[in-house]
Amino acid sequence: MGVIISIANQKGGVGKSTIATNLACFFSSSGKSVVLIDADEQKSSMYFQELRPDTAKQFQTVSITTRTILREAEKFNADYVIIDVPAKDSPVSRAAIAAADRVIVPVQPSQYDILASEDTFRLLDEVAAQKQNFKFAVIQNMVLSNPKVKITGEVSEVLKDMAKEFGLHLFNSVLYMRIAYKDSAEKGLSVAEMKGEKYTKAEEEFNSFYKEVLKWL
């Protein structure tokens, strides 16, 4: 059995499915076997797989929206099992987190969003106390790319305080809010699989994040 990675945050609208599907594509493109589990009843990851062209590198995507995900995830013989976790505190989301070896928490860089994610951090802290070699980390996602809008020092301090309190890892990479993610999702492709200069920045940013993930795992 390989590494189980859950993409989780009880706060909705933070881009969990986007990160889950892109990570699956990046791992698969590198020659690794991948299973993507869609644990969310909205089934965004399942829809992504339906749109994925036959010419693209394929990976298995399944829907498991019950607490059996805790034992089902361990059955897959793959290098990486990625779980797209529901955006709510539920038995399914808790089981998806408990099943993971690593959890990535996408957050938007505003004080409100970070504080709204605190319940997720507390849950992860509880799991870490009971499970050996369990790690979780935060990626700043959907950051406004307008150069006039900066991540304030106050927000940075909140993130640092959270990291210290919960022992979480902060990725150096930042994923900006770009049309590339919407365009690629509508084609069932990762940002790296899109053609055109307007997708280059998104590809570079996600590739930087992907390389960090590999080192962190």
Burial class of residue 102, CB neighbours in 10 A (0-12, 13-18, 19+): buried
CATH number of 3-216: 3.40.50.300
pLDDT of residue 182: 97
Angle at 156 between CA 150 and CA 162, to 5 degrees: 150
- 156 or 62, which is more confident? 62
CA gap 82, 43 in Å, rounded: 14
pTM of the model: 0.95
pLDDT for 120 beyond 60: yes
Cβ atoms 71, 118 nearer than 8 A: no
pLDDT for 149 beyond 70: no
pLDDT of residue 158: 78
pLDDT for 152 beyond 80: no
pLDDT tens digits, 154-197: 666 777 788 888 888 999 999 999 999 999 999 999 999 999 99
pLDDT for 148 beyond 80: no
Query: Which stretch of 61-75, 91-105, 155-169, 188-202 has the lowest confidence by average pLDDT?
Result: 155-169
pLDDT for 88 beyond 80: yes
Reported as half-sphere exposure (CB side, CA atoms, 13 A), residue 8 has a value of 34
Reduced to 3 states (helix: H, G, I; strand: E, B; else coil), residue 38 is strand
pLDDT of residue 165: 85
CA gap 64, 78 in Å, rounded: 17
Closest by Cα among 150, 147, 145, 125 to 136: 125
